Amino acid sequence: MQSEIRIVMEDPPADIAALFTAHRLDLVRFAFLLVGDQETAEDVVQDAFTAVHRRWRRLADHDRLLPYLRTSVLNGCRAVHRRRAVARRLRVDKEVPFWSAEDQVLLGETRREVFAAVSGLSRRQREAVVLRYYLHLSEAETAAVMGVSCGTVKSTVSRALRALAVKLEEGR
C-alpha cells in the first residue's frame, strides 16, 4: 500500500494534482474491478477528482481526501451499475431472421418504399397511421392523442391507407 500524501491547503490545484499522481492508478484499478471495463473505470475516477476540485473549499477535512475519493469512486461505480441495469431492462431482444441476402435486400427496399410513402402523407394522416399501426393504439387512444374524434381518426386513416396503396402500387 502507498502511504497517504499530506495535503497543503493553500494551493488546491497542486494538491489535487499530487493526489491524482499518487493514487489515480490504484483508484482506476479499484473502479475497474467493480465496473469491469477500463474506460468506464477511468471516467468514474476522473469524475471523483473533478468533484474534489469543485468542492475543495467546502471539504472540511483535507487530510481525509483519499477516503473521500474512494467513497466517491464506489458511488460512481454503483451509479454505473444502476444505469446498466436500466439499459438491460429496456433492451428489446430482437429475433434475428434467417433470411437470404436477397430477402434482406428486398425487405430493405420495401421498408424504404413504405417510409417514403408514409413521409409523403399529410401531417395528420402520417400521425394517424403511425399511432394506429406503429404504436398499435386503438381508435379511441389515437383520437385522444391527436385531440380529435374517433370518426376523424377513422376517416383520416382510411384516406391515408388509400393514398399509401396508390403510392406503393405506382412504385411497383
- pLDDT of the residue at 103: 58
Report helix, strand or coil for 13.
Answer: helix
Distance between CA atoms of residues 38 and 168, nearest Å: 50
Which grid coordinates belong to 128?
Answer: 394517424
pLDDT band at 101 (very low <50, low <70, confident <90, very high): low
Residue 121, pLDDT score: 85
Residue 69 has pLDDT above 60, yes or no: yes
How large a percentage of the chain has pLDDT more than 90?
A: 20
Q: Are 16 and 52 in contact (CB under 8 A)?
A: yes
At which residue does the C-alpha cell 384516406 appear? Answer: 159
Given a cut of 60, whether residue 2 has pLDDT beyond it is no
- Look at residue 42 in the predicted model and tell me its pLDDT: 95
Residue 171: predicted pLDDT: 66
What domains can be seen in the chain, in order of their start residue?
12-90 (1.10.1740), 118-171 (1.10.10.10)
The answer to whether residues 43 and 23 touch, using CB atoms and an 8 Å cutoff, is no
The letter for the amino acid at 14 is A
Helices (H) then strands (E): counts for the chain: 7, 0
Please determine, for residue 3, whether its predicted confidence score (pLDDT) is greater than 80.
no
How does pLDDT run across 40-65, given as a tens digit for each residue?
A: 999 999 999 888 888 777 776 666 78
pLDDT of residue 161: 94
